[in-house]
């Protein structure tokens, strides 16, 4: 995620970190070169363009803009929903840290809290299709063959809480509180998995991609006669806008990855790790992750 102060005029014009310009530069350049060729042809053979009218492109551009706004809003909703769920994970784990203060056995409490840290690490690895066992094992023992390792961690913690209740070490009310927090973490995981495993309908995205390419390729034919050699400039601006919005939507659709504009999952997990270790009495805590070159991972 990009973390930086609002750029001034020069920063707006020349800043590339976090910009989508690098990803769409080749596409915009090709469309601009095509526009230059079209203007050259129009200059040499103006009769070819005598019946070309810009009205259809105006209507298509308006419709395309509305269509793109719907898709980008849907993609941003996914990004923001992912951030809310990771925030809810922080709330549930902090609440569990407080709830487990009633445990008089430090080893028992440490096992639960370290398990929660393993769950946070494992959930992020699960969403990124990484090796979940590798990041969970340093915190709590798990069966690498389990189909859903983060959930297995919650099952282990839940079994411990249930055992404490049966032994009378915690009250039924306290057990209910602990179990409700574990249910909350299960809901967070399920919501994140829903975002990860359910992309926007492919025909919806495909239609938008095709329409954007057709619009940007055909637009110079309508602008060549009235604008002349200004056509490549305006084509570059329009293609940058449409290709850029399309690429931003692709980024936001999957918010748990490693792109510059994705959620800072590692920083969120590091925050939880520091708080859990502090609750266990550790004094040498891992440093909080800071933005590097304006990017917070």
pLDDT at position 144, please? Answer: 87
Give the mean model confidence (pLDDT) for residues 83-87: 94
Q: Which of 37, 65, 20, 39 is nearest to 225 (CA)?
A: 39
pLDDT at position 11, please? Answer: 57
Tokens linked to 170? 């915690």
Q: Which of 197, 196, 198, 203 is nearest to 67 (CA)?
A: 203
pLDDT at position 186, please? Answer: 95
Tokens linked to 125? 């690895």
CB atoms within 10 A of CB 57: 18
The pLDDT-based confidence of 15 (bands split at 50, 70, 90) is low
Cα(120)–Cα(153) distance, integer angstroms? 10
pLDDT at position 61, please? Answer: 77
pLDDT at position 231, please? Answer: 85
CB 93 within 8 A of CB 116: yes
pLDDT tens profile 18-47: 667 778 888 889 999 988 988 888 787 777
pLDDT tens profile 154-163: 999 999 989 8
Which range among 11-15, 111-115, 205-209 has the greatest average pLDDT?
A: 111-115
pLDDT at position 152, please? Answer: 94
How many residues in the chain?
297
Cα(162)–Cα(274) distance, integer angstroms? 27
CB 219 within 8 A of CB 211: no
Give the largest Cα separation in the chain, rounded: 93
pLDDT at position 272, please? Answer: 94
Give the mean model confidence (pLDDT) for residues 125-132: 92
Give the mean model confidence (pLDDT) for residues 109-129: 93
The pLDDT-based confidence of 9 (bands split at 50, 70, 90) is low
Task: Give the DSSP letter string of 165-234.
Answer: HHHTSS-HHHHHHHHHHHHHHHHHHHHHHHHHH-PSPHHHHHHHHHHHHHHHHHHHHHHHHHHGGGHHHH
Tokens linked to 45? 């053979």
The pLDDT-based confidence of 82 (bands split at 50, 70, 90) is very high
CB 146 within 8 A of CB 120: no
pLDDT tens profile 241-262: 888 888 888 888 889 988 888 8
Cα(170)–Cα(161) distance, integer angstroms? 8
Q: Which of 152-161, 182-191, 209-218 has the lowest mean pLDDT?
A: 209-218
Tokens linked to 105? 């056995």
pLDDT at position 293, please? Answer: 67
- Tell me how far apart the terminal alpha carbons of the chain are, to the nearest angstrom: 6
Tokens linked to 238? 């329009």
Which residue has tokens 């959620």? 263
Which range among 42-46, 81-85, 209-213 has the greatest average pLDDT?
A: 81-85
* Number of helices followed by number of strands (H, E) in the chain: 10, 0
Domain boundaries, the chain: 25-279
> pLDDT averaged over the chain?
86
């Amino acid at each position: 995620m990009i973390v930086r102060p609002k750029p001034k005029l020069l920063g707006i014009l020349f800043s590339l970190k976090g910009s989508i310009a690098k990803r769409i530069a080749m596409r915009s350049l090709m469309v601009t070169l095509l526009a230059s060729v079209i203007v050259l042809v129009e200059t040499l053979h103006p009769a070819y363009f005598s019946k070309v009218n810009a009205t259809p492109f105006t209507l298509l551009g308006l419709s395309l803009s509305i269509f793109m706004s719907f898709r980008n809003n849907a993609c941003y909703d996914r990004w923001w929903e992912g951030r809310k769920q990771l925030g809810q994970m922080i709330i549930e784990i902090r609440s569990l840290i407080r709830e487990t203060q009633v445990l008089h056995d430090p080893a028992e409490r440490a096992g639960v809290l370290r398990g929660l840290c393993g769950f946070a690490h494992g959930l992020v690895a699960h969403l990124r299709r990484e090796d979940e066992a590798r990041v969970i094992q340093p915190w709590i023992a798990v069966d690498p063959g389990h189909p859903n390792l983060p959930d297995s961690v919650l099952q282990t913690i839940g079994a411990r809480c249930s055992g404490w209740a049966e032994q009378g070490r915690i009250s039924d009310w306290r057990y209910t509180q602990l179990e409700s927090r574990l249910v909350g973490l299960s809901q967070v995981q399920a919501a994140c998995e829903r975002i990860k495993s359910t992309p926007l309908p492919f025909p919806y995205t495909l239609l938008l991609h095709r329409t954007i390419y057709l619009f940007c390729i055909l637009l110079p034919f309508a602008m060549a006669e009235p604008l002349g050699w200004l056509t490549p400039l305006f084509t570059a601006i329009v293609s940058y806008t449409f290709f850029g919005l399309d690429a931003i939507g692709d980024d936001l659709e999957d918010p748990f990855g490693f792109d510059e504009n994705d959620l800072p999952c590692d920083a969120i997990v590091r925050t939880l790790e520091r708080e859990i270790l502090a609750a266990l009495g550790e004094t040498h805590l891992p440093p909080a992750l800071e933005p590097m070159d304006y990017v917070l991972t």
